[in-house]
A and B are shown apart, each in its own frame.
Chain A
Amino acid sequence: MITNKTQPAGEQSKSMSSYLSPLVQQIQPSGIRRFFDLAAGSKDIISLGVGEPDFKTPWHVREACVYSLERGFTGYTSNAGMPELREGIADYLHTRFDLNYDPDKQIITTVGGSEAIDLALRALISPGDEILIPEPCYISYSPITSIGGGVPVGIETFGKDRFKLTAEGLEARITPRSKILILCYPSNPTGAIMSREDWEPIAKVVEKHDLIVISDEIYAELTYGCNHVSFASLPGMMDRTILVSGFSKAFAMTGWRMGYACGHPDLISAMLKIHQYTVMCAPSMGQVAALEALTNGMEEKDRMVDSYNQRRRLIVKGLREAGLECHEPQGAFYAFPSIAGTGLTSDEFAQRLLREFRVAAVPGSVFGLGGEGYLRCSYATSVSQLNEALERIGTFVALLKKEKGNNE
């Protein structure tokens, strides 16, 4: 055995941070990270903090991947991804969301939706461009924007609007430097969706100010009682929109890292240029699995969506009975109750809930503007765990009420 004699990182006396790019240095670590550390290692915690499905990837998808490995399908694919997969994505988007993309020129498969967002931003941003981001939102948009040289501009959305983006809210944040609008509906963390009627005024503003839209529709399949309307499907928005999606949420395939982007050939070919130099291609085994999911996975997907819907009803009812105000989330798998009435900040609430009642949830404040006073509760967990967590939340809220009474 060869002994490794180099000193482990961290034991060196000299700090290396001065070598880092100032751009990267100024990026703050995610607020979610701290909660992760608090919760790590405890077995008795019920977690409502997980941002991924509780289903395993359906067996037929896993099996298709294993079979392809046995047959030695282990090399690179073309940069944009296997042609069959791109065709499959084109067919799927047409059937499900009334979108028409040319699989040869308008679709690129990526390492998760995350890479697609990064590619889109890097392909579009000139230094100093302002990127409009409705918040509360997924935590990555703003840091990726900054790393790409752009200036993130948050647009606060509100509980009274059920966290939908409004034309007035958008318009108020537009400046001559505004270039891109990042959308994520159904929304992580609020569960908000946008209907056709909600979208129309937004599309007008986008047109008026000549914006490009990056529409992260990773939760498109997870809507309840209504169908998802893709922003790209609105009249005149196809060319202005880079649609980002993937297999993680709809097909329970988070670890496979399979996403895609669709859009105007000029934009997609620019993204492809960055993609081919940075990652070459999405993992070939992930591509095989993704194709199998599209080909034979719809029934299983519907079953999973049905199951989320059941648990959605359970958590909303439970949170309301626990004494928290909770709007009805119509998409994704998060409830976003208000904890403002308890007298605690969302961070304090989440910390005490975790320490004293062993339930992990994510404080709304980590998701940007408008998130303070709310708590993100994922309901992608079993009915029995949800029931137990809701009971504990109820006890905690009652305790807070009592504490508040004593202080007054």
Chain B
Amino acid sequence: MEQVNELKRKILELLKEDARRTPELLATLLGAEEEEVKTAIGQMEKEHVIVKYATVVNWDKVDDERVTALIEVQITPERGRGFEGIAERIYLYPQVKSVYLMSGAYDLLVEVEGRNLREVANFVSEKLSPIDSVLSTKTNFTLKKYKQDGIIFEDHEEDNRLMISP
């Protein structure tokens, strides 16, 4: 694994909080040179340490025509490739939002998004289950998302400090 130095680690932490922070601001916060920060970011982008700058969206506020399911999938690994090939066959579907290889009672945890229950159910029965090496699936629909990637969707902890204090 690529050795990530202290500066890079700090840059990643700050970008995780807010990906729009400029190299100039990052350099100020970290007491580094702007060029140094730019180089570090460039390297990490090239090495795909930084994969993408995406936005965390609370879709509940955009539309209610959207359901998400977490599907536990048991599979038979393929000779020579293990879980990689089958995981790829699953994650290439655009409606699959994330895929994890898990330890424990099942192998893959697949997050699937659809416009309604039927759409997700159809995906499971028509696309996922028929795959040869898929042994079983268990579909759990999510009801509400509270937190994602360390970001709380509806933070109730306001700044209630006194405006001026000694």
A interface, CB within 8 angstroms of B = 30, 32, 35-36, 39-40, 42, 45, 47, 49-52, 54, 56, 138-140, 188, 310-311, 313-314, 317, 360, 362, 383, 387
Contacts and interface: CB of A to CB of B under 8 A. Distances in A.
Interface string B131-166: 000000000000000000000000001010111111
Contact of B163 (A47, A139, A314): A47
Contact of B166 (A56, A138, A311): A138
B82 interface: no
Contacts of B31: 313
Nearest to A384: B18
Nearest to B17: A383
Contacts of A310: 14, 29-30
B30 A50 contact: no
A188 B165 CA distance: 12
Across the A-B interface, the 9 shortest Cβ-Cβ residue pairs = A49-B164, A310-B29, A39-B163, A36-B164, A51-B165, A47-B163, A139-B166, A35-B164, A50-B161
Contact of A49 (B29, B159, B165): B165
A360 B161 CA distance: 13
Which residue, B31, B163, B164, has most C-beta atoms of chain A within 10 A?
B164
A39 B164 contact: yes
Contacts of A39: 163-164
Contact of A56 (B25, B29, B157): B157
B163 A360 contact: yes
Given A54-B159, A56-B157, A314 B164 contact: no
B39 interface: no
Contact of A32 (B21, B159, B166): B166
Nearest to A35: B164
Interface in B53-81: none
A140 B165 CA distance: 12
7 contacts: A49-B164, A51-B165, A138-B166, A313-B28, A317-B28, A362-B164, A383-B25
Contacts of A317: 28
A50 B165 contact: yes
Contacts of B14: 310
A285 to B, nearest CB: 19
Nearest to B30: A310
A35 B162 CA distance: 11
A261 B14 CA distance: 37
Given A39-B164, A50-B165, 6 more contacts: A42-B163, A47-B163, A50-B162, A139-B166, A313-B28, A313-B30
B33 to A, nearest CB: 13
Given A54-B159, A56-B157, A311 B29 contact: yes
Contacts of A51: 165-166
B44 to A, nearest CB: 19
Given A54-B159, A56-B157, A313 B164 contact: no
A49 B166 CA distance: 8
Given A310-B29, A310-B30, A314-B29, A54 B166 contact: no
